[in-house]
Amino acid sequence: MRVSSQDVTVVALLADPDAPTEIARRMTQMLPDRLADRSGLGRRFDVEVVSEPFTAEVEDPPTLMRRIMDRGSSERWDIVVALTDLPLHSHGCKLAVDLSHEHGLALLSLPSLGGFRLQTRARQAVEEAVLSLVGPQATGPGGPPGSQPLRGPFVSRLAPIHPGQVGEEEIADLRYVVTGPRGYLRVLLGMVRANRPWRLVPGLSKALAAALATGAVATVNSTIWSLATSLSTPRLVIATVGSVALMIGWLIVDANLWHRTDEVSPEARKRAALYNASTVVTLGIGVLVCYAGLVAINLVWALFILNDRLFASTTRTPLHGAEYWTLSWFVASVATVGGALGSGLESDEAIRAAAYSKREQERRSLLQDDRGD
């Protein structure tokens, strides 16, 4: 690790575009003071944010570490901490962070931090990585002499993060990986968070327009009134599950979102299963948000447009609050099916942009180009 003169340590946060860059920029407000207070070295820390797609066409941690080292050698940086929202794998495990004390480098995979309190966890992880790189020389667990182990809440008995295997020819000298079922769930939630499923609602404008139009027409349809009043709660739940599943399946098939691998190794199949699970959960959350919005909009529309006498004469059921709710619920299921059909008007690129993070879009586009070649 290089050390700047005048008791100043320059820390560069090399972040992939989009969410990693936003996270890096937000933490720069308090990171220098916290590093100075916790280091106990009487040094000042300057933190810079550099937004670059350093993971372009690469998912291999050793290759990424070499790329980060080459990028840092051209600048006057003492420490480089790289942040990406891609899930990284090493020796069959999900990577949390790689550190090279000799070169002052750290590579952090944000999905390993989970889907909750991401900003706080990312700041803590960056703090621990920087303090490890500038700390006194020590022998860390699972690392060679000179590697300072991470401390604090990032690596604790409650977190599913443990020291991992490092190859002899790798630049990294200390590695932490996510293990076990809790680790799998943590990475899955982190991938879903990176995809930001709430963007699915505005991203599928044509599907949403089709759903709203279907709901508006269905609300004033007397056949729908009769069906809604005759359905029990279990059947309404089945209609909800069926319509949401249909929407998710249609989006996956229509936009070719299902991840396939040509490799036959168990590790490749596990990675593919993880990517597909994140796709299903991301779409599920987005579609459920759309569904809840349709219920609310249909309820308001029904309160405005329905005539209680006409409804009662058609269904032989008085129009009260329960009937408004049941009708809005059932119409939302019908409208979701209409939205699934309307999503066919969306381009594959628009669906991927709504369902995935920027780096994940580029990764999948690269895979499709490779298959096309």
In this predicted structure, the answer to whether residue 207 has a pLDDT above a threshold of 60 is: yes
Residues in CB range of 239: below 8 A, 6 or more apart:
231, 330, 333
pLDDT of residue 1: 47
Local structure of 112: helix, strand or coil: helix
In this predicted structure, the answer to whether residue 283 has a pLDDT above a threshold of 70 is: yes
In this predicted structure, the answer to whether residue 369 has a pLDDT above a threshold of 70 is: no
pLDDT of residue 146: 47
Report, as an integer, the average pLDDT of 335-351: 77
What residues are paired with 99 via a beta bridge?
106, 174
Please, how many CA atoms are within 13 Å of residue 296, restricted to the half-sphere of its CB?
6
Residues in CB range of 319: below 8 A, 6 or more apart:
306, 308, 311, 312
pLDDT of residue 93: 84
Residues 53-83 pLDDT 10s = 888 777 788 899 999 999 988 888 999 999 9
Report, as an integer, the average pLDDT of 205-234: 90
Report, as an integer, the average pLDDT of 30-36: 89
In this predicted structure, the answer to whether residue 142 has a pLDDT above a threshold of 50 is: no
pLDDT of residue 331: 95
Q: Are 200 and 299 contacting, i.e. CB atoms less than 8 angstroms apart?
A: no
Residue from 120, 132, 126, 93 nearest 107 by CA: 126
**In 8-139, where does DSSP find H-type helix?**
19-27, 31-39, 61-73, 118-134
**DSSP character for 147?**
B
Q: Supply the pTM of this predicted model.
A: 0.80
Residues 236-249 pLDDT 10s = 999 999 999 999 99
In this predicted structure, the answer to whether residue 252 has a pLDDT above a threshold of 90 is: no
pLDDT of residue 208: 85
Angle at Cα 196 formed by Cα 194 and Cα 202, nearest 5°? 155
In this predicted structure, the answer to whether residue 18 has a pLDDT above a threshold of 80 is: yes
pLDDT of residue 362: 63
Residues 92-141 pLDDT 10s = 788 899 999 888 999 999 999 988 888 999 999 999 999 888 875 444 44
How many other CB atoms are there within 10 angstroms of residue 133's CB atom?
25
Across the chain, mean pLDDT equals 83
pLDDT of residue 115: 86
Q: How far apart are CA 274 and CA 259, in angstroms?
A: 9
